[in-house]
Structure 1
């Protein structure tokens, strides 16, 4: 593979948040290769790519999350791949911390970090759900344990505490495709469960190295409104728990949806 690490941007239509994302990537303390992938090409996207010297890859076919993510992952010619979502921004030390961790644990297949929510121009750091997710990620901070399948799965049994855009995958070890899930929304949770069953270490760096933007046009918001999110997440809970327990957990898990209200 040509590069140690690649940021592969998933761009959809003409988002006003795309350029702030790109600026956060080119401003990393340790430079990485950057590419941009889209299934909705436009002069706007091409213009930003030209401005920052980023190569554009266009996927033919209808846009959907799984195929767009897999395309972005496969186009990245790197050992480590971060699928960057166009709404978000990265702290300047994200790549630096990623590479330090990878050198220390070369069997790492999944790297993730804490994140800060950006909503209506405000940074939200003390949200109760964020603290719950930090607790769920605790097993991934123990090097003596975070290479064991049951520990990796343990972090997922009360919900998905791992923020997808904050996550990097070691392509050299995982191969392709990255996402095999048939879900439309909970595919990241389902995919992490599948990766947890394979060899490799899940590592969490609890520094808040991602700024996760919440807004009405986000795909997550559309999934909540359509009810798809609740259906798929209850199905995921049923993998770990009996039906009545799964329904009870969903009752509390839905409080996370308040982030998008």
Structure 2
């Protein structure tokens, strides 16, 4: 039984889903791959059949975090997975992604999550440097040092200024984490909230400063939708309140909101 599972969370009919599947199939280290969805369709099922991937339907409450948690539990319960990566349907992974993640995990004493640097995909072009990516890399710089990656104080200070961790780049170390990773009340900051919760645990945040995946920026993403109705701004303020007094949280959320412009494709 393979110890790692890629959980592809599929929603409706993404034109990028097949590219995501292909990138996972091309990993130099073999892994379990499953597709989960709460919006079953002939399109998703046909791709699952084409690539011989188990196709699992979430018949309970639907939503981003609900599907993530459903897929996570399927990987644990049905595949006894020790390591799980929740792959977003629009993104792609370098062939060395999994081998690099597991190599870093095995070098740690008590790993919680491992994650990599990433590049953006905009209009089918690979973007490796922009202002947001530079800031995120700077924020994560302390985690390059083995002693600091074990520090709760360091990782909470990092998260207190925003979320530099790219959600689909994360590999979860199941045995060292709570059973439920994501809460179900956020739409745009659900991953930041999860990192904040995990940051309180004893263990290590493992950062691989290599661009091992591509995160697609496009107009139909849920993040873009949340920005459009200002839901993200409210959620970001609530997240800053977990680290700071309300008056400081308000200032930080106003500044942080400027980064939302980076989600514009053009």
Short-chain TM bin = over 0.9
Cα-to-partner distance string for 1:85-123 (whole Å, 9 max, x where unaligned): 001000111011011111111511111111111111222
Q: Does 1:105 align with 2:108?
A: yes
Q: Which residue of 2 aligns with 1:60?
A: 59
Report the Cα distance in structure 1 between the residues aligned to 2:183 and 2:207, rounded to whole angstroms: 23
After TM superposition, the structure 1 = structure 2 runs for residues 2-151 of structure 1, keeping only pairs within 5 Å, are 2-76=1-75, 77=79, 78-151=81-154
Gaps of 5+ in 2: none
Report the Cα distance in structure 1 between the residues aligned to 2:52 and 2:163, rounded to whole angstroms: 35
SS in 2 for 1:199: coil
SS in 1 for 2:48: helix
Does structure 2 conserve the Cα–Cα contact (< 8 Å) formed by 1:112 and 1:168?
yes
* Among candidates 197, 200, 225, match of residue 200 of structure 2: 197
Query: CA shift at 1:62, angstroms?
Result: 4.4
Cα-to-partner distance string for 1:146-185 (whole Å, 9 max, x where unaligned): 1221122122011000010011101122141121363222
Cα-to-partner distance string for 1:186-210 (whole Å, 9 max, x where unaligned): 1111111110111221011010111
Large movers: runs of 4+ above 3 Å: none
* Among candidates 230, 246, 261, match of residue 258 of structure 1: 261
SS in 1 for 2:256: helix
Does structure 2 conserve the Cα–Cα contact (< 8 Å) formed by 1:80 and 1:170?
yes
Cα-to-partner distance string for 1:213-235 (whole Å, 9 max, x where unaligned): 01111000110001110001011
- Give the paired residue count: 260
Q: Once superposed, what is the RMSD of the aligned Cα atoms? A: 1.3
Does structure 2 conserve the Cα–Cα contact (< 8 Å) formed by 1:181 and 1:190?
no
Q: Does 1:239 align with 2:238?
A: no
Gaps of 5+ in 1: none
TM-score (norm 1): 0.96
TM-score (norm 2): 0.94
Report the Cα distance in structure 1 between the residues aligned to 2:109 and 2:24, rounded to whole angstroms: 24
Deviates more, 1:53-62 or 1:216-225: 53-62
Does structure 1 conserve the Cα–Cα contact (< 8 Å) formed by 2:105 and 2:206?
no
After TM superposition, the structure 1 = structure 2 runs for residues 152-191 of structure 1, keeping only pairs within 5 Å, are 152-180=155-183, 182-191=185-194
SS in 2 for 1:23: helix
